[in-house]
Amino acid sequence: MPRRDLVTYPKKVSYRKHTGMVAWLLHRITGVIIGLYLIFHILAKSGVAGWFTSLTANPVARILVLIFFAYHAFNGFRIVLIDFSSGAEEGMFSKQFMVVVFLTIVVSILGAIPIFS
């Protein structure tokens, strides 16, 4: 019987859908978004990309940036802990990912209070 958590594509490319892959993918996506944000932020401060300033003046955009930074920071700290300790034990990835998500939500809610007030 074929496994349901194994996704296969032509040419024998396959991967398993699991928490570690989701954490890795979100870390990559938030890293690219943060990198683009920083580039446009520098351009906006120099006066080249004025549209970016008006875009980030929106409270929803500010909260999204906060969420991206918080997730990327907490997940990066999780990766450092895994690299320098025995955090890569079986079954720990899901627990660590849930802690990262919880901390991201808490920091995002606490950070949203001054944005909306």
User: Is 27 annotated to bind ligand?
Assistant: no
pTM recorded for the entire structure = 0.78
Where are the chain's structural domains?
19-116
Torsion of CA 30, 34, 37, 41, to 10 degrees: 160
Tell me the percentage of the chain whose pLDDT exceeds 70.
Answer: 83
pLDDT of residue 74: 97
Confidence of residue 9 (pLDDT cuts 50, 70, 90): low
pLDDT band at 7 (very low <50, low <70, confident <90, very high): low
Q: What is the CATH number of domain 19-116?
A: 1.20.1300.10
34-55 residue pLDDT tens: 999 988 888 887 777 777 777 8
- Cα within 13 Å of Cα(31), Cβ side: 9
